[in-house]
Structure 1
């Protein structure tokens, strides 16, 4: 009798300037290795791959000029080891699937055509995501490719939250509030469910703070509201994105400076936010600059003010708050930013323990704090693998 060979799921997470991937054994889900091509387009782009014990398997600096180059170097690395890893599926994080596609599903030519039609909803993300899908389809033509939509988590928001106060004809074309970072939020909710038996009874705010940042308000285990809207540009002030703006600001830029739609998109996506205020978008770099740079201090103050304001707004919208979770690169790692955001929020029951916060303790609130304040490391790739496994399981049962 021969042993059944292990099968694997590959999770692919396409960002604005990075391409992350993780390989998991499929039953049970268990990580084999993880990697990323970072700072794509720069001369110092880096491919780094680590095994499950965080031993470095590959660490290479090169000029990966675009997402195609990044996808191809990952595919080449995997292909050289394909005799060891039998892929049963590849899961792709898709930032936007339009109003029709929310649940994870197998990628078909028809689905790709639909994604092409909705590029106007996410012009900075969907084109690269489609390129990466095509690259992996070409390399693994017989392997199931599964789309996991970042908007899925927010699909059940109330109509008065989801719909903009604009004529219905625009909604019919897909103009609505979608929300993003949904795969991250799903993962955080799974982690919370391990600790709270009555999680559905909790009013929760999850703050996913990174170069791209958003928050979600969760009631009865479902997304009730979120800070990002039709695009990932809205809501909080971010590294290079503006966050929410008065519509009059957009009209002013269009009328007074005759910006084209492409130029306006580039301004709001790549040259706004912290970068516009201080010339730098990296949070740790701003913190290092702060003592001697008034612009860095202003950028940090603006970011923390924006986050504090949205926590207050979401808590008011829910009629209270029981749990606040910090996640994402900044939320998980910057005790200074967490402290500044939570300062003076005792009026809604937030009281953090400064020592626990400095130590990045999973629970940073005091015992007397009415709101439980937690730090949870997100794992979008693991969530993608779990979603893919669910699709495969349903396919077998059907």
Structure 2
């Protein structure tokens, strides 16, 4: 018997899933190691959790192997699937990782400094633990690779586009999963014009027409578009020039834009939407106001790109769980055919809209998309 292990590595966590090998992989166990560093914690789907002490990605994977042993029940891990945030202009479809490919992926680390180094750290740890297993990369940029040119480019000298300075888009594994759910459960909507709002600590929105990405709020890096937990979102490049003129270096600017901005920077309180919703501090309210405003603005723009809107899907941690945010986003959008069933929204039901445009809440599952890619490789 064989199994698949999926790894989704972030800067402070390592999510994992264990699946039985099949055309549609069967989930055996899912969880994550949170708070990588001096006080890491294992958390399994279903609520069981325990402290594991100091842990980096290698230690976290070792702890994961101990946790998944009962679920494996004698199965051998034949394939390990990895979320790799950035594939650059070269890599799109899932592929088997080699040393040559890993070397090229390392050169993309400056484009996704919060993610790519940690994604690759998980690969190296998995190679050590499973030297005989196939290691498969699944790229977050893949879903957006066939954008029209006008949605891919910047108005810079064309030579930079050829060098790879272009709008890549991210959260592709999440959009891939949501699209597969629409194809299965909402086939008519799948054929139409849908905006998916992946709202979490990292946040983006994607215009999907006939199952294909046509535009995304994220661009060259994962900083662009919506404000996020600690990332700034859309920013006038003149602000960067101003910071440089004030004497800030690249590392200082990068740290501010990636780690000290967004909801955290605006509120001065927290990056966590739950904390902000509970706060009576006016700065928390202002941060939420800006967050909702940007979502509404991008929703209008993405709908225009597609020539209209047939459906809006909320996903991600905030999109799936923060009913007040969903209500505020849809509020006063009747002119676009959007309206909300307040009771269904508060209950977190799947279908929460009442207007001609469908409004859905669909939990995302990036690990399943990765598991499907590994299964495809193993079952060839």
Which band: TM-score by shorter chain?
over 0.9
Select the residue among 101, 106, 127 that pairs with 1:116: 106
CA RMSD of aligned residues (A): 1.7
Measured in 2, the distance between the counterparts of 1:25 and 1:79 equals 13
Residues 1:40 and 2:28 aligned together: no
Question: Helix, strand or coil for the counterpart of 2:185?
Answer: coil
1:298-353 residue CA offsets vs partner (Å, 9 max, x unmatched): 11111111111111111112110001000000000111010011111111110111
Aligned equivalent of 1:3: none
Q: 1:61 to 1:313 in 2, by over 3 A?
A: same
Query: 1:80: how far off?
Result: 8.6
Q: Distance in 2 between matches of 1:200 and 1:363?
A: 15
Q: C-alpha distance in 1, partners of 2:71/2:185?
A: 39
Residues 189 and 311 of structure 2 are in contact (CA less than 8 Å); yes or no, is this contact kept in structure 1? no
Distance in 2, Cα, partners of 1:44 & 1:316:
47
How do residues 1-398 of structure 1 correspond to structure 2 at under 5 angstroms?
Answer: 6-27=1-22, 28-41=24-37, 43-50=38-45, 54=46, 56=48, 59-78=49-68, 84-199=74-189, 201-256=191-246, 258-279=247-268, 280-289=270-279, 292-366=280-354, 369-393=355-379, 396=380
Q: In the superposition, relative to structure 1, how do residues 355 and 251 fare at CA in structure 2: closer, same or farther (>3 Å)?
A: same
Structure 2: segments with no counterpart, 5+ residues:
none
Give the CA deviation at 1:68: 3.3
Displacement of 1:39 after TM fit?
Answer: 1.8
How far off is 1:67 after superposition? Answer: 2.9
Contact 1:201 1:220 in 2 (8 A): yes
Greater shift, 77-86 or 25-34, is seen at: 77-86
Contact 1:199/1:221 (8 A) holds in 2: no
Deviation at 1:265, TM superposition (A): 1.0
Q: Give the Cα separation in 2 of the matches to 1:82 and 1:323.
A: 39
Alpha-carbon distance in structure 1 between the residues aligned to 2:56 and 2:356: 48
State the SS of the aligned residue for 1:179: coil
Q: Distance in 1 between matches of 2:238 and 2:167?
A: 20
Distance apart, 1:198 and its partner CA? 3.5
Whether the 8 Å CA contact 2:170–2:222 is kept in 1: the answer is yes
2: CA distance, partners of 1:16 / 1:281 = 15
Task: Give the distance between the partners of 1:31 and 1:96, measured in 2 at CA.
Answer: 26
Cα separation, partners in 2 of 1:309 and 1:187, compared to 1, 3 Å: same
TM, length-normalised to structure 1: 0.91
Shift of 1:199: 4.4
CA distances 1:64-97 after superposition (whole Å, capped 9, x unpaired): 3433332332245457987722111000000001
1:64–1:70 Cα contact (<8 Å) kept:
no
Question: Deviations for 1:144-185, whole angstroms, at most 9, x for unmatched residues?
Answer: 000000111001100111111111222232211110000000
Q: What CA distance in whole angstroms lies between the structure 2 residues aligned with 1:197 and 1:272? A: 39
Which stretch of the first structure deviates more once superposed, 271-280 or 26-35?
26-35
SS in structure 1 at match of 2:186: coil
> Partners of 2:112 and 2:191 in 1: how far apart?
34
TM-score under structure 2 normalisation? 0.95
| Mean CA deviation greater in 13-22 or 239-248 | 13-22
Q: Distance in 1 between matches of 2:244 and 2:330?
A: 37
